[in-house]
């Protein structure tokens, strides 16, 4: 693969024969986005009935209604979204069943986690995966985030591979076939360390659904709703994972986590994880929007009948603005003793040095063994390993970087972020 990659068909995708064949097959399918059908299938597949508190049903119904009425989705897109909603329904059944059988899980403590918050595409993924290389910390690999509780009766394969891991690997292989340049923007292999936001999925909560498909009605519901109960739900799933590791009281486990959503939920994050250390990444929002919009537009070639690049950049410019306005308003909620601002240009210049600063805030000395593990991760995961995408906001989306940046003057005044995109 070339070191530099330029996607010049975002608005008018040029599809391979294989991609065209898959899309054509999708149109032969009958895809139901009815909440009752999804919940019924989840029950039948697992032989479980109890989803626990029923408040989630209204949120599921909202998503089904918004996506079901989206004429721009093709059948493959609808199927992908339905499969995600179905997986969350199955996970909810398994989570609730496990908690009923083992109520002691509620007593497991999540102690002093290190949590990364910051705009998407601002270095949060690299920072999380780098710290996750430190074996003293517990992180959330993608395969486990997708299916946090094993299905009863499903055995590990003869080669020792967890069937949940294999399903995630198969999904990643399919994604690479259909959208081969995705790895250069955001790898989704099973071992990739993922966001704990995924653990809110069985509660049908979080802004993650906006990444799956633009959904302004869902966004407005999310804005208007206190997210504290959903953060508590996510924390309960972290307790489950800790307990499944054999750490029955959480005394041996220290989590490292990350999610861009935290940037607009800093007070909620503090209420639910009061003893956390929070590292907040900061990057030129124009670079963030350019990168995010390109990734989303590229992915839509397989899920929508047409790619509306104007709508994508407008939607995510508004979302990034909301994230940064909330951060500017609420940053002081986290005291200096428990938080640090991570400037993108400083992090890129000395990533291990930045980790050392975060560890100092978290009262976690960096041992020789930990430094060796960090060094090994950097050696095995060089930047641009899968190629570097060449972005162009003006050419691809018809947006002037300078004019877009004017909307974020308040952010540049509060944080010493360097402009990147000219």
Q: What is the CATH number of the domain that holds 206?
A: 3.40.50.300
The confidence score (pLDDT) of residue 160 equals 86
Distance CA 21, CA 25 (A): 6
In a domain, 196, yes or no: yes
The confidence score (pLDDT) of residue 384 equals 66
Where the chain has pLDDT below 50, the residues are: 1-2
In a domain, 48, yes or no: no
Residue owning tokens 């508004």: 318
The confidence score (pLDDT) of residue 202 equals 98
In a domain, 79, yes or no: no
Q: Cα–chain-centroid distance for residue 241?
A: 18
The residues that bridge with 388 in the sheet, in sequence order, are 4
The confidence score (pLDDT) of residue 411 equals 98
In a domain, 374, yes or no: yes
Q: How many domains does the chain have?
A: 1
In a domain, 297, yes or no: yes
Beta-carbon contacts of residue 383 (< 8 Å; ≥ 6 apart) = none
Q: CA-based diameter of the chain, in Å?
A: 58
Which domain range does residue 117 map to? Answer: 4-18+110-150+160-414
This prediction's pTM: 0.96
In a domain, 206, yes or no: yes
The confidence score (pLDDT) of residue 386 equals 66
Q: Closest by alpha carbon to 274, among 335, 187, 357, 361?
A: 335
* C-alpha pair distances (Å), 73 with each of 12, 36, 51, 307: 16, 21, 29, 10
Based on C-alpha coordinates, what's the Rg of the chain? 21
pLDDT in tens, 250-296: 999 999 999 999 999 999 999 999 999 999 999 999 999 999 999 99
In a domain, 36, yes or no: no
Mean pLDDT, the chain, as a whole number? Answer: 95
In a domain, 145, yes or no: yes
Distance CA 223, CA 197 (A): 16
> What is the CB neighbour count within 10 angstroms for residue 191?
15
Q: What one-character-per-residue DSSP string does 89-120 give?
A: HHHHHHHHHHHHH-GGGGG----S-EEEEE-T
Element of type H or E holding 248: none
Q: Pseudo-torsion of CA 363, 365, 366, 367, nearest 10°?
A: -150
The confidence score (pLDDT) of residue 1 equals 43
């Amino acid at each position: 693969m070339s070191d530099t990659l330029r996607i010049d068909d975002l608005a008018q995708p040029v599809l391979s024969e294989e991609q065209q064949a898959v899309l054509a097959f999708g149109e032969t399918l009958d895809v139901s986005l009815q909440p009752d059908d999804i919940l019924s299938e989840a029950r039948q597949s697992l032989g479980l009935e109890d989803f626990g508190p029923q408040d989630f049903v209204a949120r599921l119904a909202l998503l089904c209604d918004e996506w079901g009425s989206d004429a721009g989705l093709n059948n493959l897109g609808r199927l992908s979204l339905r499969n995600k909603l179905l997986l969350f329904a199955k996970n909810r059944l398994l989570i609730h069943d496990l908690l009923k059988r083992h109520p002691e899980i509620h007593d497991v403590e999540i102690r002093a986690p290190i949590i990364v918050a910051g705009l998407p595409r601002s270095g949060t993924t690299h920072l999380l995966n780098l710290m996750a290389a430190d074996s003293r910390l517990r992180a959330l690999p993608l395969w486990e985030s997708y299916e946090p509780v094993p299905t009863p009766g499903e055995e590990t394969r003869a080669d020792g591979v967890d069937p949940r891991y294999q399903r995630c690997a198969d999904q990643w292989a399919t994604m690479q076939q259909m959208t081969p340049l995705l790895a250069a923007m955001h790898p989704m292999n099973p071992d990739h360390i993922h966001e704990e936001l995924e653990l809110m999925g069985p509660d049908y909560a979080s802004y993650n659904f906006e990444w799956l498909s633009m959904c302004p009605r869902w966004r407005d519901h999310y804005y208007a709703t206190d997210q504290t109960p959903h953060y508590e739900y996510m924390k309960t799933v972290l307790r489950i994972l800790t307990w499944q590791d054999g750490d029955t009281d959480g005394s041996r486990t220290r989590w490292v986590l990350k999610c861009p959503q935290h940037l607009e939920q800093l007070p909620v994050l503090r209420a639910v994880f009061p003893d956390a250390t929070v590292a907040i990444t900061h990057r030129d929002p124009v670079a963030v929007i350019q990168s995010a919009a390109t990734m989303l537009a590229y992915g839509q070639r397989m899920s929508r009948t047409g790619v509306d690049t104007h709508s994508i950049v407008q939607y995510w410019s508004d979302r990034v603005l909301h994230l940064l306005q909330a951060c500017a308003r609420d940053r002081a909620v986290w005291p200096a003793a428990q938080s640090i601002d991570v400037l993108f240009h400083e992090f890129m210049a000395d990533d291990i040095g930045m980790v050392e600063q975060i560890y100092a805030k978290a009262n976690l000395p960096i041992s020789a063994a930990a430094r060796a593990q960090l060094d090994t991760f950097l050696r095995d995961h060089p930047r641009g390993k899968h190629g570097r995408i060449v972005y162009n906001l003006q050419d691809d989306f018809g947006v002037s970087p300078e004019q877009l940046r004017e909307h974020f003057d308040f952010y540049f005044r509060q944080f010493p972020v360097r402009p990147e995109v000219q």
